[in-house]
């Protein structure tokens, strides 16, 4: 029987103690001494958010399917336990084995969003692992970083030994083999890192140096170790075959998670090419999972977990090439077993009335669409590929199918945005409400239509056509949100409309971290030491502390966020090769300035460069 890391008195004094006890249904329980390599996988946020992450479950499955390796999980402790652990000097532990993280060979930390960076330092600190990679000894785990944020790893470069850039399925088995052989051979930490530097997709930040011009821009970025490569190409699973690891028996949390459902990833990538969207570029090319695998996986996951909902996941689910065939299979099964089908990432022009009617028969939910911009002009600038006519027709079909609740997502502060574009958001929401009253006869209405609109603020991300763009200042974001709110009050159907927006402060910091260089790491460390943690939670963000830290270090939003970058500037992430070329991104940036759209990948190849991976949508229809 496992001995819990926390005593009964601690467990009884904290919120949701099941976050830390492990033993969940479908979790692995491998004996510590039965394996050669031990990895702790960390999602640096609270348990309920972490357990919803598909990437975590894929890697957990990939490591644990091997007999010579175990993978445990670790999460950021909530404030109550964090304080107790620091006061009583209790080291952070993994939930399966309940052993201290410092005892593991590898610590794998996923970086899914920039605002978790101080939590990463909290994980290292509580584990007793030196924050700086250069200060670690042979007794410390090798710290890996993975996930979306590794496409600009530089702000966190000082804190990681290795970054894995790309999709985990291709190289982690080789990494495990190297680490096991290094242990057997008694290799030093540096020798092991040099072996890892030879693996495609792996970036060892300690093997590189950056220099800067007098104006603060990056002058050069070069490897200083002979094992380090000048460019790192992302890793992708070009063939999404059934042999890839997938969590067919997903962990079922004791504490209700943010997403209490099974997740079925139908494809990777997106054909659309929205110019603000990092995921749409870094996950190119589009690769479908086979229909037969998805059928089998759906049933296996539902039967092994007991979940009452299955989520069809991708960046644009309705673009999955066998979408209708998949639904034809799932609908009768889910209806029989009273299981709801969740389909996020829908395009309002692609969701047919027939499909909506059938899904509604199982369980009625609200529909969520993302026009992103209120005006057609701005939708063309961002290359959204949606016309006003398509939006309103899609809404009409939804209302005719029985829906009366629609959620709309927009983005404020996008490049080339005008006041007219901002005020167009409430106007479009009102037009959709009007469609409802025009489409649904009075006697068939189930109350008033509900159109819920929300806006996030634009953050410039690496590897997008907008990576050269400036961001709005905090006061500009506030003014734009005020204009939207004011204009909503002027709409005819204002009682059917609601509006909320995200915090401006988080947006500015996210922008700083997204396009930052190694110097930003000093700010992250100093802010953490002054109490900043859980910055992604707006109620806990200590924005004044961040401002003070940035001022002390001479780092400014003016340099990192507010200026438009020249086309020839060297970026901190330019050493990474995502397949999509910088020349293509430049062309798209210039087309955005002209308000010109680019066809999606299935309409016409735009020569983005992703064909270099030899698969996916680039080769559809070819023998």
Q: Indicate whether 369 and 422 sit together in one domain.
A: yes
Range of the domain at 141: 8-233
Considering the domain boundaries, does residue 57 fall inside one? yes
Residue whose token pair is 């961040």: 546
DSSP state for residue 567 in the 8-state scheme: T
pTM of the model: 0.95
Distance CA 489, CA 552 (A): 43
Residue 499 exposure: Cα atoms within 13 Å on the Cβ side: 25
What is the phi-psi region of residue 340: left when phi exceeds 0, alpha when psi lies from -120 to 50, beta otherwise? beta
DSSP state for residue 25 in the 8-state scheme: B
Cβ–Cβ under 8 Å, residues 380 and 424: no
DSSP state for residue 78 in the 8-state scheme: P
Nearest CA to 570 among 517, 531, 529, 619?
Answer: 517
Q: Indicate whether 165 and 268 sit together in one domain.
A: no
Nearest CA to 280 among 267, 270, 289, 288?
Answer: 270
262-265 and 309-313: which strand pairing? parallel
Distance CA 238, CA 260 (A): 30
What is the phi-psi region of residue 301: left when phi exceeds 0, alpha when psi lies from -120 to 50, beta otherwise? alpha
pLDDT given at position 558:
97
Q: Indicate whether 178 and 325 sit together in one domain.
A: no
Q: Indicate whether 402 and 329 sit together in one domain.
A: yes
Residue whose token pair is 């057609």: 376
Q: Indicate whether 215 and 151 sit together in one domain.
A: yes
Q: 425-440 pLDDT, tens per residue?
A: 999 999 999 999 999 9
Q: Indicate whether 403 and 475 sit together in one domain.
A: yes
Considering the domain boundaries, does residue 533 fall inside one? no
* N-term to C-term CA, the chain: 56
Residue length, the chain?
Answer: 623
Residue 495 exposure: Cα atoms within 13 Å on the Cβ side: 2
Cβ–Cβ under 8 Å, residues 504 and 457: yes
Q: Indicate whether 424 and 493 sit together in one domain.
A: yes
pLDDT given at position 183:
97
Q: Indicate whether 137 and 224 sit together in one domain.
A: yes
Cβ–Cβ under 8 Å, residues 324 and 275: no
**Cis amide bond preceding 608, omega within 30:** no
Q: Within the chain, which residues score under 70 in pLDDT?
A: 1, 257-258, 345-346, 349-365, 621-623
Considering the domain boundaries, does residue 520 fall inside one? no
DSSP state for residue 301 in the 8-state scheme: H
Q: Indicate whether 195 and 289 sit together in one domain.
A: no
Considering the domain boundaries, does residue 197 fall inside one? yes
Q: Indicate whether 300 and 358 sit together in one domain.
A: yes
Distance CA 378, CA 540 (A): 34
Question: How many domains would you assign to the chain?
Answer: 2
Considering the domain boundaries, does residue 545 fall inside one? no
Q: Indicate whether 143 and 277 sit together in one domain.
A: no
pLDDT given at position 358:
64
pLDDT given at position 365:
59
Structure tokens at 185: 């051979």
Largest CA distance in the chain: 78
354 CB contacts (<8 Å, ≥6 apart)?
none
Q: What is the domain-level CATH number for residue 603?
A: 3.80.30.20
Considering the domain boundaries, does residue 187 fall inside one? yes
Cβ–Cβ under 8 Å, residues 30 and 136: no
pLDDT given at position 317:
87
Distance CA 49, CA 260 (A): 10
Q: Indicate whether 213 and 343 sit together in one domain.
A: no
Phi (first) and psi of residue 239, to 5 degrees? -115, 110
pLDDT given at position 23:
93
Given 233, 248, 279, the domain boundary residue is: 233
Given 213, 233, 253, the domain boundary residue is: 233
Considering the domain boundaries, does residue 252 fall inside one? no
Considering the domain boundaries, does residue 574 fall inside one? no
């Amino acid at each position: 029987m496992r001995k819990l890391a926390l005593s009964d008195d601690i467990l009884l004094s904290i919120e949701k103690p099941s976050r830390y006890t492990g033993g969940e249904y479908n979790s692995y329980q491998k004996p510590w001494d039965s394996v050669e390599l031990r990895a702790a996988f960390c999602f640096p946020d609270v348990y309920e958010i972490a357990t919803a992450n598909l990437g975590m479950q894929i890697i957990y499955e990939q490591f644990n399917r091997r007999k010579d390796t175990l993978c445990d999980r670790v999460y950021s402790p909530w404030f109550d336990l964090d304080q107790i652990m620091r006061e009583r000097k209790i080291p952070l532990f993994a939930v399966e084995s309940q052993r201290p993280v410092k005892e593991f060979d590898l610590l794998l930390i996923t970086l899914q969003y920039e605002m978790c960076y101080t939590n990463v330092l909290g994980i290292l600190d509580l584990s007793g692992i030196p924050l700086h990679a250069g200060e670690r000894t042979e007794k410390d785990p090798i710290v890996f970083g993975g996930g979306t944020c590794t496409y600009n790893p530089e702000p966190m470069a000082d804190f990681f030994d290795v970054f894995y850039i790309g999709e985990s399925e291709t190289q982690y088995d080789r990494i495990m083999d190297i680490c096991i052989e290094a242990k057997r051979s008694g290799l030093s930490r540096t020798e092991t890192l040099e072996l890892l530097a030879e693996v495609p997709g792996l970036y060892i930040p300690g093997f590189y140096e950056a220099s800067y011009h007098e104006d603060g821009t990056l002058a050069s970025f070069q490897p200083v170790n002979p094992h380090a490569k000048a460019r790192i190409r992302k890793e992708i699973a070009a063939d999404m075959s059934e042999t890839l690891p997938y969590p067919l028996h997903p962990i079922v949390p004791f504490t209700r998670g943010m997403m209490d459902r099974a997740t079925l990833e139908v494809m990777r990538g997106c054909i659309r090419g929205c110019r603000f969207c990092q995921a749409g570029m870094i996950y190119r090319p589009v690769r479908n999972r086979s229909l037969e695998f998805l059928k089998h996986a759906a049933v296996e996951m539902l039967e092994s977990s007991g979940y009452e909902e299955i989520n069809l996941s991708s960046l644009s689910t309705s673009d999955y090439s066998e979408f209708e065939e998949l639904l034809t299979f799932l609908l009768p099964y889910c209806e029989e077993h009273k299981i709801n089908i969740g389909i996020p990432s829908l395009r309002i022009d692609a969701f047919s009335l027939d499909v909506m009617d059938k899904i509604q028969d199982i369980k009625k939910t609200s529909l969520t669409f993302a026009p992103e911009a209120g005006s057609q002009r701005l939708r063309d600038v961002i290359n959204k590929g949606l016309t006003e006519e398509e939006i309103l027709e899609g809404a009409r079909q939804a209302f005719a199918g029985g829906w009366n609740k629609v959620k709309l997502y927009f983005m404020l502060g996008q490049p080339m945005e005008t006041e007219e574009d901002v005020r167009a958001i409430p106007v479009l929401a009102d037009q959709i409400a009007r469609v409802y009253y025009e489409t649904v006869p009075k006697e068939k209405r189930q109350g008033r239509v509900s159109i819920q609109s929300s806006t996030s603020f634009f953050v410039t991300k690496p590897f997008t056509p907008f990576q050269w763009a400036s961001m709005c200042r905090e006061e500009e974001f506030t003014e734009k949100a005020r204009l939207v709110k004011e204009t909503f009050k002027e709409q005819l159907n204002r009682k059917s409309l609601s509006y909320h927006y995200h915090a401006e402060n988080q947006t500015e910091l996210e922008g700083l971290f997204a396009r930052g260089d190694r110097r930003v790491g000093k700010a992250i460390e100093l802010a953490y030491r002054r109490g900043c943690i859980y910055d992604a939670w707006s109620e806990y963000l200590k924005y004044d502390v961040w401002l003070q830290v940035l001022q002390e270090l001479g780092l400014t939003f003016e340099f990192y966020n507010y200026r438009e970058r020249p086309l020839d500037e060297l970026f901190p992430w330019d050493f990474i090769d995502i397949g999509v070329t910088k020349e293509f991104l430049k062309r798209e940036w210039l087309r955005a300035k002209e308000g010109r759209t680019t066809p999606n990948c299935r309409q016409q190849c735009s020569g983005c460069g992703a064909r270099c991976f030899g698969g996916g949508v680039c080769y559809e229809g070819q023998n």
